[in-house]
Chains A and B, each alone.
Chain A
Amino acid sequence: MEKSLVIRNLHVNVAEEDKEILRGLDLELERGKVHAIMGPNGSGKSTLSYALAGHPGYEVTEGEVLFEGENILELGPDERAQRGIFLAFQYPMAIPGVSVQNFLRTAINSIRRARGEQDIRVPEFRRVLNEKMDLLRVDRGFASRYLNEGFSGGEKKRAEILQLAMLDPKLAILDETDSGLDIDALRVVSNGVNALRSPERTFLIITHYQRILNYVKPDYVHVLVDGRIVTSGGPELALELESKGYDWVRQEFAVPEAV
């Protein structure tokens, strides 16, 4: 089994609050598989996604993270993206005055240049962009709009998946992409994710709810409670969690209540 990502004994503090959120997290992601992480509010889900993407506000105090065999903890967020890590944000930022297409082309070229490749040619970029927008049922006019500015919740999430499709990462982390989506939007986003599954691409879907997993079938489910993965299993674990609730996990796996 080939590993895409290996996390060992990861401890992360939120720098501003000087509070330990991840407390010795271990996790291995198999290349080309869809892994889901489920956990209650405050368990450290978003902290994990930010720490993996290299957010400066999250301080790793212990442990290691190997991506494709390379320790990435010393790398900046841009270098991690250039190596193929993509985070779909729970709350994507608006960048006023910057169009979706201008942003996407700059991002693609930043990644290409870091890999010593040529810039994408404009006709090719247009063709791929149109293809991916069609795939995600995004109106073509979307490309000229300012990034995330005035976007509805559903549009923001679709824009994130469009970025995922365009940047073609090896590891895609989806941080609560399903939250706040109505059923139609959830279906569109899920179909997009399914269409982007490949043996070369690993997914880490972080979610509070089992709902998205009805549409994107995970290969593995991991349960995050109080900063640690307490149990892992197959897709059936998600259903069990949904019916029994997170209290069941705490009791079953003897996790002390968070202080």
Chain B
Amino acid sequence: MTRSTLGGAVLRGTVSTALMASLMSAPALAAPPVDLSKWSPEYVRSIAGTQDFDTAGDCAKVTPLDYKGRLTFWYQGVFEGDPDLLRQYYKDFFETFRKTYPNIQLEEQALTYNDLLDKFRTALLGNAAPMAVRLQILGGTEFASKGYLQPLKPEDVGYSTEDFWPGAMKAVTWDGVTYGIPTNNETMAFIWNADIFKRAGLDPDKAPATWDDVVKYSKQIHDKLGIAGYGLVARKNAGNTPYRFMPQLWAYGGGVFDEATANPTYKDIELNSAQSKAALQASYDMYVRDKSVPVSALTNQQADNQPLFLAGQLGMMISHPSDYNVMLDLQKKATGTDKDKAQTVIDNMRYGLIPTGPDGKRAVVFGGSNIHILKPEYVEGGKVDEPAAKAIICMWTSPEWSLKMAYAGSNPGNLNGFKTKWMKERLDSIKFLDVTTSMLPYGIPFPALPQSPEIMNIIVPDMLQNALTGAMTVDQAADDAAKKVKDLMGGGL
């Protein structure tokens, strides 16, 4: 079915012209605040703490501070796997917003990553959505393509498109129009326990260089120590699964489509290519052949791996820099000898770059979240208080708050956040932050397609489960998944 019409073409033409015009405006022509070509941990350190920002003053230019209004707002908030530090920053943000805009009646609702999409979709069906929403990066395109979202670009809240990572901007663009602003960019790292490595006869200070090494190391740890080597996650309908499997898939040279290339077209399905099958085979080898990963991988999530890691029962995993803080939080809750054991694990925690594939390809999911404004017809009450929505968006995507709200877990959506004094403080206080900022250039966004949530949350985990349970062979599971993607893209039932 085609949805292209003459009216649509004219509309797209008009929007494109408007977009071009906006790009020609002064802020858009301004140089990017950071030089991405120089990106390295040293560069990030050199720019940290070099600029001050007046958040309230900047946002007052977008929405006056005495503005009176009402805003309903849903956001992907903190969950059980997040550190207490992040909880505090979320609390601080809403308190600060209420102080800065005392006359805006804010009705916010936090939802976890795995619940937000379902609830938001249901609310939209009943025209009962909030006025503004902060969604995981995977969700924006689906809602933009369905026409639920208002066009919204950084310039609308006083920033420039160049203030944000180009990869992040791709995820909020559909049919040439920008429908949201990135709040944070997330790239994970590879974490291991040096003590476990040492006891298993591995170099304690060296991360596995390739995914084949991960398979080998995992087996060695399991065989020598009787504990799980690598923290595989394959639960369905859980964001953790694609965030851990896709880097492996891309590193082997596979993909769902060609999303790992510089200019993806999403035309050809690659899920059953030889490279994709090799990636799936690596998971199969760890789970079925070597039994070197947690048996609970099919029903657990990363939040289940964290206590395993802290208990010294897991050698390696992919996660955020925030896991260091999570471990500190968990250690505080431990009692007796468990406390000392946990401290040993924390002391032996090491971070490294995510391993490469056989051809030296390194990849990580370019994750994060974006913030959007809904069209009035889908909002409860039929009205959107745009100035109020822009006020909260301006604050959240400001250099200050986009950094603070990503303090321990990811990186600021607004690149100016890297220049703030809080970034300097963060580099000094959060161990291993360098590693995840170093992973940013390797970030690959999920395909910017409305079908992406189903592909990543259901089809890919199904493929893993089918192979790992023996319900299908690796080849059959990959072929089955590729067929499902093909049917989905063809608009099939």
Query: Are A and B subunits of one complex?
Result: no
Q: Which residues of B contact A (CB under 8 A)?
A: none
**Residues of A participating in the B interface, judged by any CB pair closer than 8 Å:** none
